[in-house]
Amino acid sequence: MIVEICESNEIVLLVPELEKHGIDVVTYSCLDRCQQCVLGAFAFVDGSLVEADSAAQLLDAILGERK
């Protein structure tokens, strides 16, 4: 699983947690989704957009994708 995140998004704080679960994380300076960045946490998981209201909820959603 590859998770792509914007370093401006709050999910960046949970990169160590994602990596602890064996998830490959790629961080970009910007993913051109500024409106989403302002509204909540988001990431691309294997190329698909995943959104949540908070970084913790997004982490749960990403970990749920692994099952």
pTM: 0.86
Q: pLDDT per residue over 4-60, tens digit each?
A: 999 888 889 999 999 999 999 999 988 877 777 767 889 999 999 999 999 999 999
d(CA 40, CA 47): 18
Q: Which amino acid is at 44?
A: F
Please name the residues in contact with 21: beta carbons below 8 A apart, sequence gap of 6 or more. Answer: 63, 66
Asked whether the predicted pLDDT for residue 67 surpasses 70, the reply is: no
Whole-number Å distance between alpha carbons of 30 and 23? 20
Does 1 score more than 90 pLDDT? yes
pLDDT at 34: 72
